[in-house]
Amino acid sequence: MPIDVGASIPSVTLNVLKDGVQAITTDEIFAGRKVVLFSVPGAFTPTCSAKHLPGYVEKFAEFQQRGIDVACMAVNDAYVMKAWSKDQNVPDELIMLADGNANLARALGLEMDASAFGMGLRSKRFALYAEDGVVKALNVEAPGEFKVSSAQAILDTIG
């Protein structure tokens, strides 16, 4: 079951690459902040690289103007996330989270088995909006879709 609106983001440790691999907790990311977390099935994959992440890069200033931080998550390692962020010209303030073991994806109930595609356990494509660690909106894509988790869709959802 996916996390419910009104529930708190589970406490999980992820990684980022800044002067080496650094651990970062969901408490550090979400506590006392407004955050949009969007997740992709994999860095460098077609829809993720052509549409999903670029949309958030394009709309990043709009999120900032609203006082909302943005984080991108994938079941990849921190080195892959850093390389992808460089390839996609991601602003430094947009947090690129490596959920290498799918711990957060599983804790949110938003994991998917992509073994049929040779990708193993991954995260579903989704976007959520949280205030002080409490989920206020959750948009989860149907398999193969890219409609409700785009930057514009989550901006429209949160108003």
pLDDT digits (tens, 9 = 90+) for 88-120: 999 999 999 999 999 999 999 999 988 777 777
With b for 16 or more beta-carbon neighbours within 10 A and e for fewer, the 121-136 pattern comes to: ebbbbbbbbbeebebe
Over the chain, what is the mean pLDDT? 95
The active-site residue, picked from 14, 16, 24, 48, is: 48
13 sits in the region (left: phi over 0; alpha: psi -120 to 50; else beta) called: beta
pLDDT reported for residue 118 = 73
pTM for the whole structure: 0.95
Residue 66, pLDDT > 80, answer yes
The pLDDT tens digits of the residues spanning 112-145 come to 988 777 777 889 999 999 999 999 999 999 988 9
User: What six digits make up the tokens of 159?
Assistant: 């108003």
| Amino acid 127: pLDDT | 98
Domains of the chain: 13-158 (3.40.30.10)
Contacts of 66 (CB under 8 A, 6+ apart): 34
Share of the chain above pLDDT 90, in %: 89
- The answer to whether residue 74 scores a pLDDT higher than 90 is yes
9 touches 20 (CB < 8 A):
no
Angle ∠(107,79,21) on CA atoms, nearest 5 = 75
Amino acid letter, residue 68:
I
Q: Is 48 a catalytic residue?
A: yes
Residue 130 pLDDT: 98
Give the separation between CA 5 and CA 9, rounded to whole angstroms.
10
Task: Retrieve residue 3's tokens.
Answer: 């996390």
